[in-house]
Amino acid sequence: MVNTKIIRQRESLPVFPYRQEIVDAIKNEPLLVVIGETGSGKTTQIPQYILESFPEYRLIGVTQPRRIAAITVANRVSEEHGSRLGDDIGYCIRFDDCTSSRTRLKYMTDGVLLREATIDPRLGHYDAIIVDEAHERTLETDVLFGLLKETHRLRPELKILVMSATLNVEKFSDFFNSCPIFVIPGRTYDVAINHHRDAKISSLKSTYVQRSVETALYIHTQEPPGDILVFLTGQNEIEKACRDLEDLDRDLNYKTDVKYYEDVKGLVIYPIYATLETMEQKAIFDDPPRYTRKVVFATNVAQTSVTIPGIKYVIDSGFVKQKTYDPTTGMDALLVVPISQAAATQRAGRAGRTASGQAFRLYSRESYEQMEADTVPEIQRSSLLGTVLSLKKMGINDIINFEFIDPPDPAMVKNALKQLFLLEAIDDTGKLTTLGNEMSIFPLSPFLSRVLIASARQYECSREVVIIVAMLSVEEIFITPRNVEKQMDADEKRKEFYHPSGDHMMLLNIFEKFRDSGYGRDWCRDKYFNYRALSMAKSIRDQLRELMEKHDLPLVSCRLKNYQVKDDGRQRKKRRNSYQDVKYNVETMLESFSSSYYINLAKRHPHRPVFYHYASATGPGSESIDSNSSLLALHISPTSALHPDNKVVRVDDLDWVTYHSVLYTNKALMKVVSKVKLEWVQERLGLFKKLAVANLDGSYGKSKSENNMHGNTDEDNDNKVDSVMIDAQEVKNQDDEKKRKRLEVIEAARQRALARKSITNQD
């Protein structure tokens, strides 16, 4: 039966009048860019137009950056289409494939399509691919762009559509052979922009939280009714801003202080950030009580992922917290940086969703004009380790001449090649090895894929290691309560999971206790663990096990044979290994991890509880430490079992550790640290030397830490290893000025970390 209401709704969308034109364009053009603002209906309608107008198409794929979007849009469209979800129209996200052999329209995350492409780079199942929300420029979207361009050469009959909001998209058309751009007028309201008279962005860095609060109070007292959305950068300052505004509100005399007091008689204040446990709660998204104004202090979640309805005023601090990979140290830096003009426009737009509104920028117009036009795409800020491995797997050996819409910095490519070589995923000619080929089957960081394979093929402990690997693949599992008492309770409860070897075994302990609890939500709440994260770890473990089975990787346990459980359930110690663990052969597990993480080996300072990255410390720079040899002091994260305050192990007993990752803000913190023996890694450290040769010809950029990374030379390998690195030097230099600015920010952070003077000389 035809549902007239749905038809009327579909026909009322801004995109509807262009239906025939769009269909014609698709008929005539293999490549097409479509621009349409939120609410134009492009995401739900254009795929349906194709479905209806091209019955010969077997499969149409539509990518989204987020899982939730793929699900909700597929639901909506299948409803409009009058079919059951998973029949004609379905979606596919990790852990949840809701498609069937009948499915002709498939919504999916861009990551899913990318993984499909590693198996079939021609994407032979598809007759049309639509990359939606392209302006977000996720790492996956950018890689897909390059692949699709290549696929277009091989399969010109494949229809490729790029859909984007209206943010500087000529670039997309330029990239795709100057293809036509189709513009769908939007349906948004005017937003008046108020810049601060003279505030420079540089002077705001220490004051923007306070100024945001003051501006919110100003709007509240002087402007007509309407809710306020404030963009800040992180959890701590959001909580502080909420408290400060509450205090100010308490002191208000509404009758005298508030201009529109007849309509504005109160204030409700909410924080919102992604890790907020109560984010699912509806109150933030509901209308506030009558005569009450709502203020929401938000991170960037409110810029892209969640929409808070009814916002009339936006306050833009001008800052965002952004993660940038530092290829010279191989570490991530999480830093507060000024936003781009595009981001500022997007933030302001949040005030015009349902009616006209106003944006208050805490920075001057001049500062706005000095901002970067666009946010640096993720591909230029991320480690390319996994990306390069996938590309190699697809047979794209020459990463350099691969067409990226915005090519990553050569140093990033070089860093990825180095690390892949150290993981033995590529050989000294840059070619994928058998091991590398096997590593690419797992949806994991190549470091972890390597560990998993080692645990299965070499160390016979894969049944346990697969759990730890899954735990390392999820977001933060510890919840830190704001309340001081609860925080102490959380710290206390964490102790039961500690293991003297460190955090990898702690993660195994946590997962096993979680499993014993029946994967209970209540158990997580009691122990202050993030249930969402632990559930995700379980799903990942299951998926990894399936993949291992499919690819004949044995699942073996390192549970000690003579370990027994007494009748009363208590454990009886029969055999001890060096960690006194009664259940497992801990050493084999840690040796598995060492097969990758010898790259992240750190040695303790002789007199202080700080560590130095081994490969940096043994480079030529170590002989005479000057201001340029960036030896970063690595601190153990407070959440680590090995942190000195936790007193699980004496600092003097820690000589060598490996860590899973380092993130620096003001200082460099090692996350997930375990004690290792040098003998486990000694042999593998030789790979650094092999790598060193490649650098001798100096053909690569002359960054400082370049030298730090390498040990002695080995002329025998000179010619062979060169080619590992040869690609990168040929990458054409992009906008140097932009790049320099970006590097300056990271460099400043590194200098700050260094300035904490935990390092001077190695005694």
Comparison of 94 and 720: residue with beta carbon closer to DNA: 94
* Inter-residue contact 750 to 634 (CB < 8 Å): no
Write down the least CB distance from residue 105 to DNA, Å: 17
3-state secondary structure 651-707: HHHCCEEEEEEEEECCCEEEEEEEECCHHHHHHHHHHHHHHHHCCCCCCCCCCHHHH
Write down the least CB distance from residue 50 to DNA, Å: 23
Comparison of 258 and 339: residue with beta carbon closer to DNA: 339
Is 620 exposed, middle or buried (CB count within 10 Å of its CB: 0-12, 13-18, 19+)?
middle
Comparison of 11 and 476: residue with beta carbon closer to DNA: 476
DSSP 383: -
**Which residues would be at the binding site for DNA (CB under 7 A)?**
65-68, 93-94, 109, 111-112, 114-115, 138, 233-236, 273-275, 299-301, 305, 320-323, 334, 386, 443-445, 473, 475-476, 478, 480, 487, 491, 635, 638-639, 645, 663, 665-667, 669, 671
The phi-psi region of residue 318 (left if phi > 0; otherwise alpha if psi is between -120 and 50; otherwise beta) is: left
Comparison of 299 and 419: residue with beta carbon closer to DNA: 299
Write down the least CB distance from residue 715 to DNA, Å: 39
A 10 A CB-CB count for 717 gives: 17
Write down the least CB distance from residue 120 to DNA, Å: 14
Comparison of 129 and 681: residue with beta carbon closer to DNA: 129
3-state secondary structure 458-518: CCCCHHHHHHHHHHCCCCCCECCCCCHHHHHHHHHHHHHHCCCCEHHHHHHHHHHHHHHCC
Nearest to 47 by CA among 82, 19, 7: 19
Nearest to 329 by CA among 664, 660, 593: 664
- Work out the end-to-end distance of the chain between its first and last CA atoms, rounded to an integer number of angstroms: 82
Nearest to 743 by CA among 399, 407, 380: 380
Write down the least CB distance from residue 381 to DNA, Å: 8
Write down the least CB distance from residue 472 to DNA, Å: 10
Comparison of 226 and 271: residue with beta carbon closer to DNA: 271
Comparison of 385 and 553: residue with beta carbon closer to DNA: 385
Write down the least CB distance from residue 746 to DNA, Å: 14
Write down the least CB distance from residue 7 to DNA, Å: 31
Give 33's strand partners: 162, 181
Task: Sort strands 319-326 and 331-338 into parallel, antiparallel or unpaired.
Answer: antiparallel
Write down the least CB distance from residue 740 to DNA, Å: 22
Write down the least CB distance from residue 713 to DNA, Å: 36
Comparison of 109 and 705: residue with beta carbon closer to DNA: 109
H or E element, residue 338: strand 331-338
Write down the least CB distance from residue 3 to DNA, Å: 30
With H, G, I as helix, E, B as strand and everything else as coil, classify residue 112: helix
Q: Encode 322-337: b = buried (16+ Cβ within 10 Å), e = exposed.
A: bebbbbbbbbbbebbb
Helical pair 586-597 and 446-457, crossing angle rounded to 10 deg: 140
Comparison of 141 and 629: residue with beta carbon closer to DNA: 141
Comparison of 370 and 487: residue with beta carbon closer to DNA: 487
What is the length of the chain? Answer: 763
Comparison of 328 and 640: residue with beta carbon closer to DNA: 640
The phi-psi region of residue 133 (left if phi > 0; otherwise alpha if psi is between -120 and 50; otherwise beta) is: left
DSSP 229: E
Comparison of 486 and 559: residue with beta carbon closer to DNA: 486
Comparison of 102 and 323: residue with beta carbon closer to DNA: 323
Write down the least CB distance from residue 88 to DNA, Å: 21
Comparison of 22 and 536: residue with beta carbon closer to DNA: 536
With H, G, I as helix, E, B as strand and everything else as coil, classify residue 221: helix
Write down the least CB distance from residue 147 to DNA, Å: 15
Q: Please tell me the distance from the alpha carbon of residue 608 to that of residue 600, in angstroms, as a whole number.
A: 19
> Which residue has 């309805």 as its token pair?
309
Helices (H), 603-667: 614-617
Q: Please tell me the distance from the alpha carbon of residue 602 to that of residue 757, in angstroms, as a whole number.
A: 18
Comparison of 305 and 733: residue with beta carbon closer to DNA: 305
A 10 A CB-CB count for 377 gives: 18
Comparison of 540 and 558: residue with beta carbon closer to DNA: 540
DSSP codes of every residue in 142-203: HHHHHHHHHHHHH-TTSEEEEEE-SSS-HHHHHHTTT--EEEE------EEEEEESS--HHH
Write down the least CB distance from residue 229 to DNA, Å: 14
DSSP codes of every residue in 562-590: T-EE-TTS-EE-----TT--SSB-HHHHH
Write down the least CB distance from residue 591 to DNA, Å: 24
A 10 A CB-CB count for 252 gives: 16
Comparison of 146 and 446: residue with beta carbon closer to DNA: 446
The answer for residues whose C-beta is within 8 angstroms of residue 352's C-beta and 6 or more apart is 188, 189, 190, 191
Comparison of 444 and 461: residue with beta carbon closer to DNA: 444
Write down the least CB distance from residue 236 to DNA, Å: 6
Write down the least CB distance from residue 52 to DNA, Å: 27
- For the chain, the C-alpha Rg in angstroms (whole number) is 28
Query: Which structure tokens are listed for 470?
Result: 């899954």
Give 90's strand partners: 106
A 10 A CB-CB count for 658 gives: 25
Write down the least CB distance from residue 655 to DNA, Å: 21
Is 130 exposed, middle or buried (CB count within 10 Å of its CB: 0-12, 13-18, 19+)?
buried
